Amino acid sequence: MRRLWRAVLGVAMLPIAPALAASSQPVDWVNPLIGTGGTVIGPDYAGTMPLVTTPFGMTNWTAQTRQNRISVTSYAYEDQWITGFIGTHQPAVWMGDYGYVTLMPEMGGLQPSPEYRRLRFSHADETATPYYYAVTMADEAGRKLRAEMTSTDHASYLRFTFPAGVPQSVLVEATRAGTRGWAKYDAERGEILGYNPDRMDAHLSNVKLPDFKGYFVVRFRRKPSGGGVYQGPLGAAGTEVEGDNVGAFARFDGSDTVVEAQVGTSFISLDQARANFDAEMPRWDFDGTKEALKQVWNGKLGTITVEGATDDQKHILYTGLYHALLYPKLMSEQGRYHSAFDDKVHQGTSYTAFSIWDTFRAENSLLTLIAPERIDGMVGALLQDYREGGYMPKWPNPSYTNIMIGTHADSLVAEAMVKGFKGFDRKLAYEAVLKDATVPPEGDTTRRWLDREPGVPYEARAGLTWSSKIGYVPADKVSESASSTLEEAYDDFAVAQVAREVGDQAGYRRFLDRSLRYRVLFNPATGFMQARNLDGSWASPAEGWTEGDQWAYLFAALHDIPGTIALLGGDAAFNARLDAHFAGGHNHHDNEPSHHYSYLYDFGGEPWKAQATVRHIAETAYSNTPAGMLGNEDCGQMSAWYIFAALGFYPVNPVSKAYMIGSPLYARATLNLPGGKSFSVEAPGNGPANVYIQSATLNGRPLDKPFVTYEQIVAGGKLRFVMGPKPSGWASQWRGKPDQ
């Protein structure tokens, strides 16, 4: 979201991972530096970081090259200085951090300020993997210090190797200027502990969480020889400090050049932070912890195996899988969690960092295939948020943030239910989506509901009071009205599916009918969707859009593409409009509303155009470089698009369970599914010259429809394509909805 970036970077952006041997493991192909470059342009870049963490880990660890904030992440490829190693919860460049903590080894006197404690580094002296990060840094005198990190769900293990004969200390930054926190040096235990209550996004709603804090406990393998605390740029008296811009430090004698630290993090308490590393790091064994995390990543990344891919394609694919497996993030700790909605501790499993406006389109659908064991907990977390806060959130970080539009959590709930996931309360799920669809937010008719408006109640469906009466959100009453009307029509479709799943046939028919109200925004005089005012008049064609325009939202009715075809005048007119969309430069793959557009040719009888367009985007929007992603990663959505493109199919309408077929990127790709099953996509002879599908079979039987279903995939089997250099008529006779 929030990007339209196509500038050429003013820095070298060459491939940044070497070719690997054929025997390499999946994790060896991950290049965490993809997407970390581009900050010379501004925040409209991928915004990824080389995070050391577990899949869906609560606290992620990275080298800190700059002070992060909303629109700035902790690491940027262009930077040359490291100021610390941060335990961060920032999920995306356009979001802020919360409850973070930073450690920095120092070779001289106490230097709390980032600009004075920084050490120079080179990428030539850096190793970045999902399970291990290492870098050699140097001070102005040329003295070199090596830092290494590995991690678990809630804790990190750091190892610092100092040059011989220098003073050794480790600084722990609890809070920054403007944030009041607490830190303590415990001489008896040889620990540093504290908390940071900062929530950078707190202004994006009116939720107050006075008890919400990011707690940390740092313990050292070698007992410190001394230590203390600081406030601001100076040391403070005693061993405990509370206030603005505080932290602590530990000093070590020169008996060994190595200092090892384990950091437990928690949102529940200091005791829980300590319990987290006791449970996850019971021994002082850096290499063993690193190896265990490596195997965890190999296991999850191994859910997809490929043949016939270039080295760069493998780096892009497995890095994309790594990114997709980071989000949403764990919020629970050993069966408990601190709710960012009612500020209380509860029993259960919880997740946060759902970038749902982005991820409902493909990321969450991908997780149903590669991480199905997590889906019940993720949907259950959204329902807990509803119970504790009043609505399911649209972008929790960790609480309500009122970023983006619609109530697309409805889609996540519906997709899980229609795909047969049952490990959550289905009655509560219907109650939650029904509230989204029928209960307007507080002060609905008196607010414009501006994007990222500070200090307002949770937005839910802005303008629902109006749309419930007239069938659309009026532009003269509510901002982003046209986009909201179109996207909430899809949400109504999702609610209808939940109603059907729980046996409410009347509710199913009601919301299915409501899902077709998007058509009221179609202006036959222009052939585009257009915002309308309360009195029914057309608003300005430029008004009412969210991160897009009339082109970006013409095909927004994911659930009713045949209806859109009819509005535009039939197949020929529909395909011509798609042609104009792509030829005219209107397709901004760096933003999510158009992510399904390539596949729409399947509906209009010209699937060969879908095949060519998907391949073109995959080849031009992604690369094995620091600037290797066209737009913000957005919690796995950009990567999920590429992964589906590589497999050869994509969830245009996630709730339908259908995956529309494009053009697979490799000779063979296999989804390794639970229970020993596998689903393979074979395309022998595939390559840059052979883009077009000539024929297809599914489990040996001819396939003449341009889609496969979730049931067919998870049952295991083989989808086989015959590829060729020229378009064919394969699947061009199919019409309709794949969910019917």
Give the C-alpha separation, 522 to 531, whole Å: 9
Residue 479, both tokens: 């901002």
Residue 497, both tokens: 């599916």
Q: Are 491 and 394 in contact (CB under 8 A)?
A: no
Q: Are 681 and 648 in contact (CB under 8 A)?
A: yes
Q: Which helix (H) or strand (E) holds 466?
A: helix 464-470
Q: Are 63 and 89 in contact (CB under 8 A)?
A: no
Burial class (CB in 10 A: 0-12, 13-18, 19+), 649: buried
Closest CA to 176 of 270, 84, 92, 264: 84
Closest CA to 612 of 586, 645, 642: 645
Letter for the amino acid at 16? I
- Residue ranges of E strands in 471-617: 522-523, 528-529
Q: Give me the phi and psi of 108, to 5 degrees please.
A: -135, -140
Q: Determine how many CB atoms are found less than 10 A away from the CB of residue 549.
A: 17
Q: Are 524 and 569 in contact (CB under 8 A)?
A: no
Give the C-alpha separation, 464 to 489, whole Å: 12
- Residue ranges of E strands in 152-233: 155-161, 168-173, 180-186, 191-196, 214-220, 226-231
Give the C-alpha separation, 592 to 552, whole Å: 9
Give the C-alpha separation, 159 to 198, whole Å: 27
Give the C-alpha separation, 147 to 166, whole Å: 16
Domain boundaries 304-724, corresponding CATH code: 3.30.2080.10
Q: Which residues contact 591 (CB under 8 A, 6 or more apart)?
A: 1, 3, 4, 547, 548, 552, 631
Closest CA to 529 of 498, 460, 483, 570: 483
Query: Residues 527-561: pLDDT tens digits?
Result: 999 999 999 999 999 999 999 999 999 999 999 99
Q: Are 380 and 339 in contact (CB under 8 A)?
A: no
Give the C-alpha separation, 4 to 166, whole Å: 48
Residue 294, both tokens: 């490596």
- Bridge-based pairing of strands 336-338 and 332-333 is antiparallel
Q: Which residues contact 26 (CB under 8 A, 6 or more apart)?
A: 297, 298, 301, 302, 305, 318, 321
Residue 156, both tokens: 């990190």
Q: Which helix (H) or strand (E) holds 293?
A: helix 286-301
Q: Determine how many CB atoms are found less than 10 A away from the CB of residue 698.
A: 15
Give the C-alpha separation, 329 to 99, whole Å: 14
What integer pLDDT is reported at residue 8 of this predicted model? 31
What integer pLDDT is reported at residue 14 of this predicted model? 53
Residue 254, both tokens: 């020169």
Paired strand residues for 169 = 106, 251
What integer pLDDT is reported at residue 5 of this predicted model? 32
C-alpha of 579 from chain center = 30
| Residue with tokens 């400090």, as numbered in its chain | 241
| Residue with tokens 């029904």, as numbered in its chain | 434
Q: Are 102 and 85 in contact (CB under 8 A)?
A: yes
Residue 559, both tokens: 């659930």
Q: Are 277 and 155 in contact (CB under 8 A)?
A: yes
C-alpha of 488 from chain center = 22
The interaxial angle of helices 409-418 and 426-438, nearest 10 deg, is 150
Q: Are 644 and 654 in contact (CB under 8 A)?
A: no
Ranges of each domain in the chain: 48-301, 304-724
Give the C-alpha separation, 42 to 46, whole Å: 11
Give the C-alpha separation, 470 to 555, whole Å: 22
Judge if 48-301 and 304-724 fold alike in CATH terms.
no
| H helix intervals, 152-220 | none
Q: Give me the phi and psi of 119, to 5 degrees please.
A: -130, 145
Query: CATH classification of 48-301, choosing from 3.90.650.10, 2.70.98.10, 3.90.600.10, 3.40.309.10?
Result: 2.70.98.10
What integer pLDDT is reported at residue 4 of this predicted model? 35
Give the C-alpha separation, 132 to 123, whole Å: 15
Residues of the chain with pLDDT under 50: 2-13, 740
